[in-house]
Amino acid sequence: MWKDFFYFSKRERQGILILIVLITGVFIGKFLFTPKVSPENTSNIVEDTTFIKEPEQSYFRENKRSYEREKPGSSHSRPKQEEKRTYYQQPEKAVEPPPKNNYPPKEKFAAGTVIELNACDTNQLMKIPGIGISFAKRITSYRKLLGGYCRLQQLQEVYGMYEELYDKITPYLRVDTGLIQSIAVNSASLDRLKSHPYFNFYQAKAIIEIRKKKGKINSINELAMLEEFSEEDIEKMGHYLSFE
């Protein structure tokens, strides 16, 4: 019976033998290839560890002594030195006088003075109380676009004009319609017509088309019959058109 229990076939016996050889080889290899630590090396390791830790301990020890010396009430505390500060004093800036106006003050007209709006220049306009150089230039520029003012109310069309200023300056002005430069309707170009403040492109185009068909426009009544012109347009344009 025991013989049957410990009976191994030939293949099993080979496997057991190989297993025993492998286990034996592992133990032999571990013994041969494991480095041996000598007592000297062990002492070096201990010394190195002590060398590393000692500075840390001495650092904290030194800080503790410093803290005790600096601690208020300690007999080792050093007297506190007064902090010295140096202040930089900026040089005083010289106060520059305000820039002088290079333009001499304009003399204003006395009450009752009246000038011609279609003949005056900017210097004359600036003598009217309330008018400076900006408004003087705007008034003369708009006069050039119109060809001249036909009534004082047109000053209200000047850019920036407001009611108080208009009421203030009109007593010093008058208008001569004989100084207006009119537009020759039968010879003016499209650009010349539409450059006038009272004309738009379609109105200028309509005049050119009538001239092509009829050859000549005889009066402003012919323009009044066109849908491009309203009654207000005809009233405003009447002083600026010449049909010769």
- Give a yes or no: residue 175 inside a domain: yes
What are residue 151's phi and psi, to 5 degrees? -160, 155
Given pLDDT bands bounded at 50, 70 and 90, which one contains residue 2? very low
Task: For residues 169 and 216, state if they share a domain.
Answer: no
- Give a yes or no: residue 134 inside a domain: yes
Task: For residues 164 and 209, state if they share a domain.
Answer: no
Report pLDDT for 45.
45
- Give a yes or no: residue 144 inside a domain: yes
Task: For residues 124 and 175, state if they share a domain.
Answer: yes
- What's 120's domain CATH number? 1.10.150.320
Q: Which two tokens stand for residue 229?
A: 């012109």
- What's 213's domain CATH number? 1.10.150
Residue-range definition of the domain harbouring residue 124:
115-179
Task: For residues 188 and 238, state if they share a domain.
Answer: yes
If you write DSSP's letter for every residue of 20-79 in order, what string do you get?
A: HHHHHHHHHHHHHHSPPPPHHHHHHHHHHHHHHHHHHHHHHHHHHHHHHHHSTT-TTPPP
Using one digit for the tens of pLDDT, what is the confidence trace for 17-72? Answer: 888 888 888 878 777 776 665 555 555 544 444 444 444 455 445 555 555 555 55
- Give a yes or no: residue 75 inside a domain: no
Report pLDDT for 64.
53
- Give a yes or no: residue 233 inside a domain: yes
Tell me the CA distances in angstroms from 21 to 7, 26, 143, one per residue in order: 21, 9, 124
